Amino acid sequence: MPESTPPLLELEDLHAAAEGNAILRGVNLAIAPGEVHALMGPNGAGKSTLAGVLLGSPAYEVTAGTIRFLGEDITHWAPDARAKAGMFLAFQYPEAIAGVSVVQFLRQAMGARKGIDDLSVLEVRFAMAEWMQRLGMDEAFAERPLNEGFSGGEKKRNEVLQMALLDPVLAVLDETDSGLDIDALKVVAQGVRTVRAERPDLACLVITHYQKLMDELQPSHVHLLLDGAIVTSGTMELARQVEAEGYEPWRR
């Protein structure tokens, strides 16, 4: 009998705090290659904290538990080491960087991911042009200052472009649907599907409040985070139940 696929990401009894205040209180989660997991929960439940902890944000301190990625304990790895290993975070509110164009930023990020100090500008532009065409983006976008003057939809599409070019093995999408109207959300979701179609082993953790993005991405696993811990897991049926009943039935 063949062995089951080992988890790509495994969280065991993960606790984390910010400025001495406990936020995560024993999160257990396992994600295998190619799986799409959705994480739902009310404001203040710890969803974005979990995203930050996974990528090693210095704003949070892991106080107990373990993060394993590709079989290694990365609980105390630096953010750049996690990114180089293949973790990617699409921010809820991507920051603007004046004076740094999209192509300049991606050249640095792609070079770090590949372990190349001076990645060819031509190679970066070629890869960008290919993916911009697939994602339906104007190539002039590459010369604009990163996220400066971008609409909400443009910022999120730029995150999807980064995800495509950095070729992660795990993508954490932190409320990618935040601030988007339904048309922009569909465009971003289509971009995520396009990347996943090219790379079927890419695993995703989609953090969201809303049913709409899940309807677009159809996660195989849905988890409910309340008061810093996952209280139940299920399928899209769980998401529909939360949409209809709210979070109250699962509160401790």
pTM over 0.85: yes
At 3 the pLDDT is: 53
pLDDT digits (tens, 9 = 90+) for 149-196: 777 777 788 888 888 888 899 999 988 777 777 877 888 888 888 889
Answer whether residue 40 shows pLDDT above 60: yes
Q: How many CA atoms lie within 13 A of 230 on its CB side?
A: 20
Per-domain residue ranges for the chain?
9-250
* C-beta neighbour count of 17 within 10 angstroms: 18
pLDDT at 225: 95
Tokens of 82: 């996690």
Indicate the class that CATH gives domain 9-250: alpha beta
Number of residues assigned to the chain: 252
Contact call for residues 87 and 81 (beta carbons, < 8 A): no
Structure tokens at 182: 């339904």
- Contact between residue 32 and residue 8 where contact means Cβ atoms under 8 Å apart: yes
- Indicate the pLDDT class of residue 94, thresholds 50, 70 and 90: low
